[in-house]
Homo-oligomer: A and B are copies of this chain.
Amino acid sequence: MSAAAAEPPVPPVGTRRARGAAGACRPVYDAASLLTVVVAEFNARGYDATSMEDLSLAAGISKSSFYHHVSGKEELLDLALQRALDGLFAILEERASRDGPPVERLHHIVRRQVEVLISELPYVTLLLRLRGNTETERRALARRRAFDATVAALVADAISEGQVRATVEPWLAARLLSGAINSIIDWYRPGRTGAEHLPDEVVRMVSEGILPPA
């Protein structure tokens, strides 16, 4: 369990600006700036439960205005998911993810994955909650699985080289590791004090143990 976040609001969370009010300036968007507002809405209710009407209210523009920027609701999802996945895969390209002993490469990846989850929180949150209902979603899930598989292979390497303790199932270790890291989207909220220590704390706890032994 870890349902830490505030009770998700049912009404739109974005800033509602009076449309057409006397002297009021209407918000003017490009595709990128729209995405910020849209992704917050998707995360508040889930993609499927968020209507174009919800997005319209949150962004302060009419439903039809969205179709000037994107082809439809699904493209908004696609743009957000690409951003999340690009951030994750960039980690694997870093030198410290590719050179050195497996254990150290793995620790680097874990640390950086925590950092990316934090820096790209809304986008990764959307990714991690996908169900695979459309082709767009399934493409994103396939990329996500590829990322997981890369990390899992490295976990297996690190365990086989670092055998000092009782046998550990590499596959299970990779799953629990992912689960622990990804849970960040359920409880981390921007502005936490001490967030700069979080990546190292996570690395330490998954290495030394989360709970005291019996």
Contacts and interface: CB of A to CB of B under 8 A. Distances in A.
A29 interface: no
A171 to B, nearest CB: 9
A144 interface: yes
Contact of A183 (B144, B182, B204, B210): B182
Contact of A46 (B46, B144, B145): B46
B10 A162 contact: no
A168 B129 CA distance: 29
Assembly stoichiometry (copies): 2
A148 B3 contact: yes
A103 interface: yes
Contact of A205 (B8, B138, B173): B173
Nearest to A178: B2
Contact of A133 (B10, B133, B213): B10
A211 B133 contact: no
Interface string A177-193: 11111111011000000
Main secondary structure of the interface of A (DSSP, over half): helix
Contacts of A179: 2, 179-184, 186
Contacts of A7: 132, 138, 141
Contacts of A28: none
Interface in A118-157: 128-134, 138, 141, 144-145, 147-148, 151, 155
A22 interface: no
Minimum-distance CB pairs A-B, first 5 = A179-B183, A162-B212, A8-B132, A2-B178, A48-B49
Given A168-B205, A169-B201, 6 more contacts: A1-B181, A3-B141, A46-B46, A48-B48, A176-B210, A180-B210
